[in-house]
Chains A and B, each alone.
Chain A
Amino acid sequence: MNRMFAIVEREMRKFFRSPTLMIMSLMMPILQLLIMGNAFGGKIVGAHVAVVDYDHGPEAVKIREGFDAIAVNIKTFTTVEYTDENKAREDVRTGKIDGAVIIPAQYSRRVYAQDAPRIGFVVDNSDLFTSGSLESEMQALVTALTTPVIQPRVATAIALEIVELYPYVNYMKFLLPACVALAMYISVMIGGGMLYIDDKARGVHEGYLVTPITRLELVMGLNMAGAIKAVLSGICLTVIGSLMAGLGVIFHPEADLELLCLILGTSIAFNGMMFLMMVRVDDPLVPRAMFGVLNLLLFYPSGAMYPIAAFPPWLRAIAIVDPFTYCVHGFKSILLKDGGFVAIRYDLLFLFVFGISTLLVATPLFKRTL
């Protein structure tokens, strides 16, 4: 056992002597959380919408008042006066403005006559997010205009009452579980895979192999060190990321225990997977080449960015065997939902079984000789 801990000691001393390594394994996920969380999580503000009013009647004025209310409150868009419908369409097409509302002649009369009144809305649907936001605001405005001022005593329409279980989850919060998983993956890849192969190439392992250390002690020592590095990385990212995203779950001791179990399970699973892939590799370029490919192959099918239910069957098959999937699901269950051990039991089971199985396969593959 002492020999195994000697390997762990060496790896940890080396890790703490390389602050660049530690910073790099934490910086990228934090930056991702910061940049992607803010870039994708925001709402459309300050879009420009043209108003072409051919009516100028009292109902058209109501619409324009609605636009003014949006411009000063939710600020999704401000309006620009146009007199020519064709000019407005052309400006939407060239990107000068984001949309154009056409209020046709006789609009107010048709409203009073209840004669199928219509408003035209021209949008640039090549930008789905902006056009979707404008359509949504416009639809809400039209719904408000058509709602009777005096509500009928007996409601005849079917109403949908939506109950949201959790407080509003912004994109940064949504992204946090994925970033914790990514930080641990990077830590295992750099602190485990790359350093392992670099040491092997530099002959450091040759030094180990002439000592009486057993194969199991060496494998366990290297993996324990790798797992400790990933655990440290996971804890740091969970705490820093939760504070950045404004999640208070980390202040609950029970949730902390659940998170720790998840971090431990993920570390073992990622480390086992990495060791199995690198056990017979000698070329230091291989882990570097694999870094990006594995990131793409494992991170995106995990449901970290998009729900697995929307994947085609072949991608779902990858998600099922991908440890990232269980890691991300587990962290979402605790960080966003505070679901307790019940919510993460299968994730923990998969992660631990996966990690131990890969290590069991990798150990006999590890060569005790050169």
Chain B
Amino acid sequence: MRIKFWLRSCLHKLGVVGASLLLYVTPSFGRSTQPVAPGLNSIPKRIAAVQNAIKTTDTEILKGKLCAQWGNWANWANWNNWNNWNNWANWRNF
């Protein structure tokens, strides 16, 4: 009885090791999502480019590019202040 249990346990462990190796050597196998794309088109890279453009563009030119629909243009230039939005908490998604 004990041998049977021991054998089953060994087989179980071997199965786990084998499956882990399989997952390791085939990177896309078993993944439900894609890894973060490192290319220029990745969202973080695009966001960094936008932030950089805002920081480095002359204020007057920026004012012309970002139209009034987006609210006070100064908020765009000074985007670190965006956390000060009041009432945001009361207007959420549920």
Q: Say if A and B assemble together.
A: no
Residues of chain A touching chain B, judged by Cβ–Cβ distance below 8 Å, are none
